[in-house]
Each structure stands twice: as C-alpha cells, then as structure tokens.
C-alpha cells in the first residue's frame, strides 16, 4: 500500500471514531441524505459549523425535502435564512431545488457537470456533494482540506499550491469510503489540524506529516486583504417608526429590508442628501463609523441621522417594531439599527 492510501486508511479509521454528531450526518433514506448534504453545503459556504447547526435544524424542520423547498415561496426561505447572511445562497438553493424537481425528477444529480449547472454550485460544492452524498471518488478543496494536505506533504504556498494539493489528493482517493475520507480530512482540519496551535500529538497521521517532522506546521497562507468600500446609511425615525427600503441596487442586499443606503466615492462620505431624498434635515448626532465585512470587500458605513424627510414612497416605507418582524431584515441592518439606537439613548 503506497503512502497516499495508507494516510487515507488512517484518516477514515480516525473519522469513524471521532466524528462530530451533526444533523446532516444522520438520515432516513438516500434522498434524505442527498437533501441534507445539499442544504448543509449551501449553509456552510463561508460560515462556521457551530453557526450553521441551529439554522439547519430550523430550516429542515420547515422544509423536509427538495420538493417541499421547491414549492415554497422565496420570502419564506429568506425569513428562515435571516441572520445567517450571504442571502444569495438562499436564493440559489431555492432555485436549485426548483430545477432539481423540474429537470431531474426531484433527485439530486450524480454527475459533476449536472451539479455544476445548478445555481450556487461550483467545483467545491459539486465535489463535496458527490463525495459525501454519493460516495464518489471526489474530494473538494476547502480551507480545512487545503491546510491538512499542504501540511502533511509540506507543500509550498505559491501559485502551484492548488495543483500540488490536487495531485496529492489523487494519490489518496479510495474505491470505497470516499464519503468518510473527505469528511475525515475536513474533520481533521476542524478538530486537530487548526490554523493556530494544532493538536499534532493526537493526529492519526502525524507519523506521515512532513511539516510535523520538520516543525514547519504554522499556517503559511497569506491573510486575506479586502477592498474597502464607503457607504452612507440613513437612520430616520418618526412616531416610533423607522424608515426602511428594499435594496434593489446592491446584489448583496437584494430582496432584504435595510436602512436607506448609498455608496460614496471616498472615506470623506460626502453625499448630497437631496440626491437620495427630496428634502431632509441632517441631525446633530454623529454615530460612530460602522465596519461590516462582506465576502470580498469591507464596508465602512457612516450612519447619518435625518428628520423632516420627504421621500419617494415607492422606494421607502415606515415600519414599527411589530412590523419589522414580518420582514427579512439583513444582518447589516440589524447592526446599523443597534448602533444607531444605542447612540440615540
């Protein structure tokens, strides 16, 4: 047995003993397994497992099958997704469920290309679904897999890193147990092979880990840099109600209720108010700058308090506290409201 196969066998054995009890790892049928894997993979995109679990349980309780999800309204889907962020995932998941029902008779495809043709499914998600749900010899490369493999084989972090990882993973693929292998590598990265202070002494493959032997196991990946974009948000109250808008301009807020928001050119946050509202008086209070991280940029938001506002009623509307609960409020809006409300006190 070559090195790659030996490592795989040890990872699978370890995984069977030490895997976490997660709701998408128990299922009643193959179709239930497929749906749970699909749902979990969408939710886990750019989100931690601990954050996802309660949302997964709530979502699955409401929509038990791909068919049930496909027949639902997008407003119901977004409301259940509220607080999880990256709402495009929810829209893509909903559309994927519809297409699976329409084009694949409600069964999740077992072809890489067919999966990639579905909204929101790229190389990694397609590989993860085929491996975990279908037990096919695919291994998706996420952050955990990348870290584990690059450390085990002491790979250089350069432009060829992903190709090097793919080559090593190909040597580790197994005929049976692909599902356990991929989940095992991810679990190893989540529980032991951590970015900081990894638990090398407990690792089942430490005897094969070149980085462990050479003591070069520190995470060498560069810290991600974010482009900064500048925005003004407007906090406007009247008779215990707050002015909101449905954001159609910004894709990351599309279909969600948010405070009126406008992008500005520089960090001076200069904007002519009458370009946003027909008439308004600027309040005297100055809310601290709010920073909010998106997947590929960092928002710097200046919240401006306004009064006596005259606005386009097709774009903006008033909501009281009871009304707010009926809508899907973006996580960004919740943060802006909290900062603004605290400052008003």
pLDDT, averaged in runs of 10, over the chain (345 residues):
90 96 96 98 94 97 97 93 90 97 95 96 96 95 94 90 93 93 96 92 95 76 76 86 80 77 77 61 65 86 80 81 82 85 62
Q: What is the pLDDT of residues 248-257, one digit of tens each?
A: 677 667 767 8
Tell me: do 28 and 164 sit in the same domain: yes
Domain span at residue 269 reads 227-344
Asked which of 155, 183, 214 is the last residue of a domain, the reply is: 214
Alpha-carbon distance of 168 to 155, in angstroms, equals 10
145 contacts: CB under 8 Å, gap ≥ 6 = 139, 165, 169, 182, 185, 186, 189
Can you give the CATH number for the domain in which 272 is found? 3.90.79.10
- 222 lies in a domain? no
Tell me: do 257 and 162 sit in the same domain: no
Tell me: do 10 and 157 sit in the same domain: yes
The set of catalytic residues is 41
- Count of domains observed in the chain: 2
**pLDDT for residue 14:** 97
- 221 lies in a domain? no
- 207 lies in a domain? yes
191 contacts: CB under 8 Å, gap ≥ 6 = 18, 20, 199
- 303 lies in a domain? yes
**pLDDT for residue 64:** 97
**pLDDT for residue 300:** 92
- 219 lies in a domain? no
Tell me: do 182 and 236 sit in the same domain: no
Task: Say what the pTM is.
Answer: 0.80
Q: What is the pLDDT of residues 9-25, one digit of tens each?
A: 999 999 999 999 999 99
Q: What are the two backbone dihedrals, phi and then psi, of residue 227, each rounded to the nearest 5 degrees?
A: -70, 135
- 81 lies in a domain? yes
Asked which of 182, 214, 246 is the last residue of a domain, the reply is: 214
Tell me: do 190 and 260 sit in the same domain: no
Distance of CA 86 to the CA centre of its chain: 6
Tell me: do 39 and 160 sit in the same domain: yes
Can you give the CATH number for the domain in which 12 is found? 1.10.340.30
Element housing 230 (H / E): strand 227-238
Hey, is 307 helix, strand or coil? strand
Residue 289 near residue 301 (C-beta atoms within 8 A): yes
Tell me: do 143 and 7 sit in the same domain: yes
**pLDDT for residue 1:** 62
- 330 lies in a domain? yes
Distance of CA 294 to the CA centre of its chain: 10
Tell me: do 48 and 136 sit in the same domain: yes
Tell me: do 17 and 142 sit in the same domain: yes
Asked which of 185, 214, 243 is the last residue of a domain, the reply is: 214
- 220 lies in a domain? no
Residue 8 near residue 172 (C-beta atoms within 8 A): yes
Q: Which residue's entry shows tokens 């159609």? A: 248
Tell me: do 10 and 40 sit in the same domain: yes
Q: What is the pLDDT of residues 259-314, one digit of tens each?
A: 888 888 877 766 666 566 655 556 545 567 889 888 788 999 988 887 777 777 77
Tell me: do 76 and 202 sit in the same domain: yes
**pLDDT for residue 283:** 58
Residue 235 near residue 259 (C-beta atoms within 8 A): yes
Tell me: do 66 and 187 sit in the same domain: yes
């Amino acid at each position: 047995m070559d090195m790659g196969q030996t490592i795989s066998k040890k990872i699978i054995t370890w995984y069977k003993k030490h895997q976490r009890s997660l709701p998408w790892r128990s299922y009643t049928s193959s179709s239930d397994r497929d749906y749970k894997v699909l749902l979990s993979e969408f939710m886990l995109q750019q989100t931690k497992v601990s954050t996802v679990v309660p949302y997964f349980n709530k979502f699955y309780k409401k929509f038990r099958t791909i068919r049930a999800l496909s027949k639902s309204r997008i407003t119901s889907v977004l409301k259940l997704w509220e607080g999880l962020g990256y709402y495009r995932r929810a829209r893509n998941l909903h559309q994927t469920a519809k297409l699976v029902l329409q084009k694949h008779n409600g069964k999740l495809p077992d072809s890489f290309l067919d999966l990639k043709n579905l909204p929101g499914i790229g190389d990694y998600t397609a590989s993860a679904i085929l491996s975990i749900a279908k037990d096919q010899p695919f291994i998706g490369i996420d952050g955990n897999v990348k870290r584990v493999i690059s450390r085990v084989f002491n790979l250089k972090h350069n432009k060829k890193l992903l190709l090097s990882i793919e080559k090593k993973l190909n040597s580790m693929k197994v005929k049976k147990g692909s599902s356990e292998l991929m989940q095992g590598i991810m679990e190893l990265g989540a529980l032991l092979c951590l970015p900081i202070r990894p638990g090398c002494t407990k690792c089942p493959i430490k005897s094969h880990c070149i980085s462990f032997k050479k003591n070069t196991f520190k995470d060498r990946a560069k810290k991600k840099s974010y482009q900064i974009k500048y925005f003004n948000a407007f906090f406007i109250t009247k008779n215990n109600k707050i002015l909101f808008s449905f954001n159609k301009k910004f894709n990351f807020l599309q279909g969600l209720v948010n405070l009126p928001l406008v992008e500005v050119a520089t960090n001076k946050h200069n904007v002519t108010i009458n370009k946003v509202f027909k008439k308004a008086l600027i309040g005297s209070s100055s809310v601290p700058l709010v920073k909010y991280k998106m997947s590929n940029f960092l928002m710097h938001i200046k919240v401006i308090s306004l009064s006596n506002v005259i606005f386009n009623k097709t774009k903006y509307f008033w909501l009281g506290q009871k009304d707010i609960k009926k809508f899907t409020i973006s996580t960004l809006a919740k943060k802006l409201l909290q900062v603004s409300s605290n400052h008003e006190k």
